[in-house]
Amino acid sequence: MAGTKKFIFVVCGAKEHIETLHFSLRALRHFSEHEIWIVTDSTRNEIPLVHTNIINVKCPDGFTHHQASIYLKTGLHKFLPPGNLYCYLDSDVIALNEKINEVFEQKTGLITFAPDHSKMNRFSPYAINCDCLNENLAEWAEIDFLLEKYGRPTTINDPTQLKRQNRLKRNLELTKRSKLKLVGFAAKYVTTGNILRFADGLYYNKNEHAWYDNEGQPVMIDTNNETIKKIEKNSKWRWNIVRRRWISPTGNDIHQLQCSHLTQAIDSKFGIKITNPNWQHWNGGVFLFDNGSHAFMESWHKKTILIFSDPRWKTRDQGTLIATAWQFGLMHLPLLSKAYNFIADPSNQGLMISDDREYITDDAFKTKYSPAFIHIFNNFGQSGWDIWDWVEEKLTTTGRLNAPVNSR
């Protein structure tokens, strides 16, 4: 096994990305004594990096800043000194406790990644320039238009009510995922009158299809039966009563965007056949590598540079990571626990904080974690979002938020 253990960040370009890195750098330094290195192209940076251990690499002039960052990330084996065990971190991966230092003990095989928050076929529209994503967005716009035309406003804007709404959604999601709770809720719904009382002093008015607080102020408004009937009468959209979702005129469940275009593109571009398009692909936010990883990294690096000039591919590194994993026969390689790269996806209804504020879950408490690293790939720094507020709460308790940005 490699000798010295080091954490690695890559950043270049916009001020916001460097400021994100500075935040994550403070947290990492607070919990670890291991050296932290940053690989960058300083000629591209809008503001200086506040750090000493910096490796400066000149990226090809024709690359965008985004391409340059991916060039540096996938090429780390070329830019870092050999003989060490490295843990790469995206700049939006935040250390939360001392368990981060145990990540180095988790390396298995040639290279070690954590799972992504989706499967390959769900990721496909975000990796390839097919029409699937735009068609999905158009369908969302169409049903939103119909809801506005034939229904009543359902948006709640008051900050206090939005917090109550989030709490309500959490409790409803927990109820939906527990057979016992769901049966109890259904029995209560059938046996009560027009008013159904629920947790946190909220109640549901069946006639109005709306949730209210004890003062009669709306917290969440559902699509009512009258609106559903009007939309179905005047369009080809259909309401799935079991899943409580709209089905598009083409038969799509617009909540389940997926396609096979990435599988096809990998075969076409690299001659690599993916036999399981529902494969649990890897997330590039955290990974472990050493000298033994160089052949894998070089192959990933070369594939990624190739797609930069291919208009079919979006500027991402995960599609080429999938191709490289299958090329090397690593599709069944053990993955890092989510504790070392807990991905906080704000669109995930199962993403919740426990009542005691100790744990986080992405599946409504089928599993729970007190993660070493949390990956905030959207809503970074967004106060008022319960997940970000929880992160700040954790770091404030440890004193990390007041720590200086100095070097190690």
Torsion of the alpha carbons at 398, 345, 368 and 32, rounded to the nearest 10:
-30
pLDDT at 2: 44
How many CB atoms are closer than 10 A to CB 382? 12
Structure tokens at 53: 């251990």
Q: Mapping DSSP to helix (H, G, I), strand (E, B) and coil, where does residue 73 land?
A: helix
Instruction: Please state, rounded to an integer, the average pLDDT across all residues of the chain.
Output: 93
CATH of domain 5-127+264-402: 3.90.550.10
E-state strands within 16-128 = 35-40, 54-56, 85-89, 93-95, 112-115
Q: Is 320 exposed, middle or buried (0-12, 13-18, 19+ CB in 10 A)?
A: buried
Q: How far is CA 153 from the centre of its chain?
A: 29
Q: In the predicted model, what is the mean pLDDT of residues 249-258?
A: 92
- For the full predicted model, state whether its pTM sits above 0.75: yes
Q: Mapping DSSP to helix (H, G, I), strand (E, B) and coil, where does residue 281 land?
A: coil
Q: In the predicted model, what is the mean pLDDT of residues 270-280?
A: 96
For residue 343, what are the contacts with CB-CB under 8 A and spacing of at least 6? 116, 117, 283, 285, 362, 375, 377
> What is the spatial distance between Cα 341 and Cα 334, in angstroms, rounded to a whole number?
14
Q: In the predicted model, what is the mean pLDDT of residues 242-265?
A: 91
> What is the spatial distance between Cα 318 and Cα 284, in angstroms, rounded to a whole number?
7
Q: In the predicted model, what is the mean pLDDT of residues 338-342?
A: 98
Instruction: Reply yes or no on whether the pLDDT at 34 is more than 80.
Output: yes
> What is the spatial distance between Cα 33 and Cα 295, in angstroms, rounded to a whole number?
29
pLDDT at 173: 86
pLDDT at 337: 97
Instruction: Reply yes or no on whether the pLDDT at 239 is more than 60.
Output: yes
Instruction: Reply yes or no on whether the pLDDT at 405 is more than 60.
Output: no
Residue extents of the structural domains in the chain: 5-127+264-402, 132-247
Give pLDDT tens digits for 347-377.
898 999 999 999 999 999 999 999 999 999 9
Q: What burial letters (b/e) apply to 283-313, b meaning 16+ CB within 10 Å?
A: bbbbbbbbeebbebbebbbebbbebbeeeeb
Instruction: Reply yes or no on whether the pLDDT at 404 is more than 60.
Output: no
- Using an 8 Å Cβ cutoff, are 283 and 88 in contact? no
> What is the spatial distance between Cα 174 and Cα 168, in angstroms, rounded to a whole number?
10
Give pLDDT tens digits for 135-156.
999 999 999 999 989 986 677 8
Confidence of residue 335 (pLDDT cuts 50, 70, 90): very high
Give pLDDT tens digits for 290-331.
999 999 999 999 999 999 999 999 999 999 999 999 999 999
> What is the spatial distance between Cα 177 and Cα 134, in angstroms, rounded to a whole number?
31
Instruction: Reply yes or no on whether the pLDDT at 398 is more than 80.
Output: no
Structure tokens at 337: 């626990």
- Using an 8 Å Cβ cutoff, are 211 and 202 in contact? yes
Q: What burial letters (b/e) apply to 116-126, b meaning 16+ CB within 10 Å?
A: bbbbbbbbbbe
Q: In the predicted model, what is the mean pLDDT of residues 185-206?
A: 90
- Parallel, antiparallel, or unpaired: how do β-strands 238-240 and 245-247 relate? antiparallel
Give pLDDT tens digits for 51-67.
999 999 999 999 999 99
> Residue 102: which region, alpha, beta or left (left: phi > 0; alpha: psi -120 to 50)?
alpha
pLDDT at 169: 87
pLDDT at 243: 75
Confidence of residue 160 (pLDDT cuts 50, 70, 90): confident
Considering the chain, what percentage of its residues have pLDDT values greater than 70? 96
Helix axes 15-31, 386-398, angle to 10 degrees: 50
* Integer angstrom CA distances of residue 402 from 27, 163, 393, 395: 10, 27, 13, 9
Looking at the DSSP bridge assignments, the partners of residue 14 are none
